[in-house]
């Protein structure tokens, strides 16, 4: 241990690293941890860089996570530490629709938090669903998709407000405009098939 490193900083580093290795860290969920992350950011970047990861941190939006560092030309590719998840088409569709809704919301410029009800989310999806579907079965599937997106960290249930969700801003970092454009093309093809 370096004598110039304060003990509280040494104790905070493992806590910050473990939180990042578990998933997305949000400022609003743990302001003390967030402050430690900001303070220890150079050390965190150095540490995770040793194992082939990089820190993605958006201080303005209040979130951070780790991702696999792109391979360097002069170095062999490392095995993936952070696993990629293949998302089903319905989950990808809902994420794309939420991302588009977030872009529209940001263009309006009024509020900072996009809050949607379960019914709002159903309405977003309804355009892409085949007509004549079993409504009860369909609602169960949509609820399952919403739960999965909550698990992934892109939606957050609002406490004390049944059926209300906040669209997390980290979605903008995971789904960029290029991905959204390509998905729009696939959506158009999909809509043609279901009609």
Residue ranges per domain, the chain?
7-68, 89-194
Segment 4-16 shows an average pLDDT of 70
Residue 39 pLDDT level (bands cut at 50, 70, 90): very high
Q: Whole-number mean pLDDT of the chain? A: 83
Q: What is the predicted pLDDT for the residue at 183?
A: 73
Q: What is the predicted pLDDT for the residue at 6?
A: 46
Question: Is residue 33 predicted with pLDDT exceeding 50?
Answer: yes
In this structure, the number of other CB atoms found within 10 A of the CB of residue 173 comes to: 15
Closest among 63, 79, 80, 70 to 23, alpha carbons compared: 63
Question: Is residue 3 predicted with pLDDT exceeding 70?
Answer: no
Segment 74-96 shows an average pLDDT of 77
The torsion angles phi and psi of 190, rounded to 5 degrees, stand at -65, -45
Which CATH code fits 89-194? 1.10.10
Q: Are 56 and 65 in contact, with CB atoms under 8 Å apart?
A: yes
Question: Is residue 36 predicted with pLDDT exceeding 50?
Answer: yes
Segment 42-62 shows an average pLDDT of 92
**3-class SS of residue 71:** coil
Which CATH code fits 7-68? 1.10.10
Helix 118-126 crosses helix 135-152 at what angle (to 10 degrees)? 110
Same fold, 7-68 and 89-194: yes
Q: What is the predicted pLDDT for the residue at 15?
A: 95
Q: What is the predicted pLDDT for the residue at 195?
A: 59
Highest mean pLDDT among 6-10, 49-53, 67-71: 49-53
């Amino acid at each position: 241990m370096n004598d110039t490193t304060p003990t509280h900083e040494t104790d905070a580093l493992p806590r910050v690293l473990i939180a990042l290795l578990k998933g997305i860290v949000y400022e609003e969920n743990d302001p003390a941890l967030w402050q430690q992350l900001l303070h220890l950011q150079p050390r965190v970047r150095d540490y995770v860089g040793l194992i082939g990861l990089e820190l993605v941190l958006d201080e303005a939006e209040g979130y951070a996570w780790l991702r696999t560092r792109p391979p360097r030309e002069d170095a062999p590719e490392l095995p993936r530490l952070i696993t990629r998840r293949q998302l089903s088409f319905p989950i990808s569709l809902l994420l794309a629709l939420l991302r588009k809704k977030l872009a529209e919301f940001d263009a309006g410029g009024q509020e900072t938090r996009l809050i949607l009800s379960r019914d709002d989310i159903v309405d977003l999806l309804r355009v892409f669903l085949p007509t004549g579907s079993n409504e009860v079965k369909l609602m169960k599937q949509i609820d399952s998709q919403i739960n999965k997106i909550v698990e992934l960290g892109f939606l957050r249930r609002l406490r004390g407000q049944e059926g209300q969700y906040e669209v997390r801003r980290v979605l903008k970092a995971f789904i960029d405009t290029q991905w959204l454009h390509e998905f729009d093309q696939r959506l158009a093809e999909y809509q043609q098939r279901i009609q």
